[in-house]
A and B are shown apart, each in its own frame.
Chain A
Amino acid sequence: MDKLQITATLSDRFITGGGYLTFDALLASAVYSLTQDVDQAHNQLPIKQVDGLYYASAAIYESVATGTVAIVQSMRPDDVWLDHQWLKKNKHGAVHTKFSNLSDNVMNSYKTIAAPTMTWYCEGDADRIRALLAHLLMIGKKRTCSVTRWDVEEGELDGVLGYADEPLRPVPVEMWRGDTSGPLVDAAWRPAYWDAAGRTACFVP
């Protein structure tokens, strides 16, 4: 395992949804897309892991502009992942096939951030990480932002501790060995990050 710096060159605004966009979560999404195996996606990434904590930083970026975008989420029958039996039918018993203002269509507004690049630090296997990144064409919540280029280079940080001993990712109080002057925040510190059951007091970036 080597200390690495990963940089994504972004084409458009991205949506974080308020999360930290940790690098292990990013790789987990690629592994899950390829294998459909949750355990592999959460526990067998090519990144150093100690007591469940991945040595992979949250996304680091410099925001040049912020905005909002509204996304219509439509229950489209063309989505192969959803069995047609679950979709709302019209009076003829057929599945709706076109966009409409029916209650199946939900429009949500998201905050967007514009940044030319996004960077992560981690300790991991560079070759296996490169292979997984090749499958990551879009990033962020709703996958609205495409990545035009991935760079994986030798880095100086382990993905947990920053240059000034600050946390680079959410780390539970009991596991944190760096600067403790920052405020504690409840956060998920290991996958699955969406699961509120795993949320605990952490030092965060």
Chain B
Amino acid sequence: MTTLEFFNNYFGRHLVAPTGNSVADATRALSSGHQMAKGGGPQRIASGWAVISEEVSTIQFKLAATGLRYSDQTRYEAWLDALESFSGKPVMLVEFDKKPVPVANLFRTHDLRAVQVCSPGGAELFDFTKEPTLLSGKAHKVLWKLKLERQKDVFKSSTSA
């Protein structure tokens, strides 16, 4: 399965009717307006995040589409959950913003040594088995910090119990 087939199969098809053209379908899912859960006119996904996987795809932006799971977590909490529960099956971590995410920036994560975070500005690639350096990108640094905080919380709760 190609990257865009994965995206359309587990995410895009819940938003737009598939035409068989993977690039056009993914572009429409990312750039066109969709019905919102709160009603009103269709809106493009212009904020929040998504975690796309074979089991279930989760998104923060509250759309009317069924077949997706909705969550109020922050992007880093959601992505860290996805990485901490990573089973070897590919996941796609997406960050939305006012500018649509180009299909050229879509990549799956197949391995924690090559995590990809897709955004309108590009795709940040990093090794999540290693500590970030000064030159590392924002996602790597924030996710690593959050991971350490969670480990501290677990340690505190286990020692206080």
List residues of A whose CB falls within 8 A of some B CB: 183-186, 194-201
Contacts and interface: CB of A to CB of B under 8 A. Distances in A.
Contact of B107 (A183, A186, A194): A186
Nearest to B1: A200
Interface string B80-92: 0000000000100
Contact of A185 (B2, B26, B103, B110): B110
Nearest to B115: A183
B110 A196 contact: no
Contacts of A185: 107, 110-111, 114, 116, 125
Given A184-B114, A185-B110, A196-B104, A201 B23 contact: no
Contacts of A184: 110-111, 114
Contacts of B108: 186, 201
A196 B3 contact: yes
A195 B104 CA distance: 8
Interface residues of B, number: 19
Given A186-B107, A186-B108, A201-B108, A196 B4 contact: yes
A198 B22 CA distance: 10
Contacts of B103: 196
A1 B116 CA distance: 38
B106 interface: yes
A183 B2 contact: no
B113 interface: yes
A194, A197, A198, A200 interface centre (most CB from chain B within 10 Å): A197
A87 to B, nearest CB: 24
A106 to B, nearest CB: 15
A67 to B, nearest CB: 14
A197 B114 contact: no
A196 B106 contact: yes
B111 A183 contact: yes
Contact of A183 (B1, B23, B114): B114
Interface string B4-41: 10000000000000000011001000000000000000
Name the 10 nearest CB pairs between A and B, nearest first. A183-B111, A184-B110, A183-B114, A183-B113, A199-B3, A186-B107, A196-B103, A186-B3, A200-B2, A185-B114
A195 to B, nearest CB: 8
A194 B105 CA distance: 11
A148 B116 CA distance: 36
A59 B67 CA distance: 43
Interface string B101-141: 00110111011011010000000010000000000000000
Contacts of B107: 185-186, 199
Given A184-B111, A199-B4, 6 more contacts: A184-B110, A185-B116, A186-B116, A196-B23, A199-B2, A201-B110
A48 B2 CA distance: 24
A200 B111 CA distance: 14
Nearest to B135: A66
Nearest to A202: B110
Given A183-B111, A184-B114, A197 B1 contact: no
A198 B2 contact: yes
Nearest to B116: A186
A197 B22 contact: yes
A200 B114 contact: no
A197 B4 CA distance: 6
